[in-house]
Each structure stands twice: as structure tokens, then as C-alpha cells.
Amino acid sequence: MLVVGIRGAITVANNDRDQILAASTEMVLELMKKNGLTEDDLISLFFTMTPDLDAAFPAEAVRRCGITETPLMCAPEIPVLGSLAKCIRVLAHCQGKLKKSEVRHIYLADAVALRPDLVEREVSQDGLKTS
């Protein structure tokens, strides 16, 4: 059995509890779907949020969507000058049969700017035309 780390990030428009919870849910469910994961494959999820977000914990959203046996942790992102604002990030530690080269990292909304190389690779893997 292999252990891999899978990254994900998403942005929200406002520091709003409902937006943070909805975006966190979307990001984690998309990460699981694209990588063929179930909760049994998850070892832990580590979330960070930029300092301009403090209206909710991303972990709360994950618990609400039924992931209850996986350890979760939330922390503030380092406040680097000029970094992407209103961003929620996750590092998922997973076990299974995925090799690092097969992992599909998830970057949604304005977070696509963080890793355009990975977003373009995902588009190619999905059979869509890349720009």
C-alpha cells in the first residue's frame, strides 16, 4: 500500500461562513472523486486558510459531509505579502494504490493561479483541449 499527499486549494469571494463551508466541501469532494478515494483511504487532512478568512473552520464542512473517522487539522496560512487572498488549502495524506505520478491535485476558482501547470495537466488528462 502506498501513501501519498494530495494538494487542493480553492478561493471564496468573501469571509462568509457559508461560502467557506461550501468551498471546503467542494474542494475535498472533488479531490476524493478525481483520485477515486473513500474515507477509508484518508489518513488525515490538514487545512490552512489565509489570514483574511476566519468565519468558519474548513474541517467543519468535511465533518458535515460525513467524513467522521479521519483526523482533521486547521491552521492559518503564512501571511506572505502579495499571496493569493481568501484561499483555503488542504493537504490530504492518503493510502491506496496511487503513485505520485497518478495523483490529481485540485485547484479551483482563483486558486488555479497557484499551480497552472497542474491545472493544465488535469485538463489534458480529462481529454479537454488545453490553452
Question: Distance between alpha carbon 45 and the CA centroid of its chain, in Å?
Answer: 9
Q: Where are the domains of the chain?
A: 2-125
**Full-model pTM:** 0.90
How do residues 99-117 score in pLDDT, each as one tens digit? Answer: 999 999 999 999 999 998 8
pLDDT bracket for residue 30 (50, 70, 90): very high
Please give the pLDDT value at position 122.
66
Whether the predicted pLDDT of 121 surpasses 80: no
CA–centroid distance for 110 within its chain: 13
Architecture of domain 2-125: 2-Layer Sandwich (3.30)
Active site residues: 7, 63, 74, 77, 89, 107, 115
Question: DSSP H helical segments within the chain, as ranges?
Answer: 17-35, 58-64, 116-125
pLDDT tens digits for 43-86?
A: 999 999 999 999 999 999 999 999 999 999 999 999 999 999 99
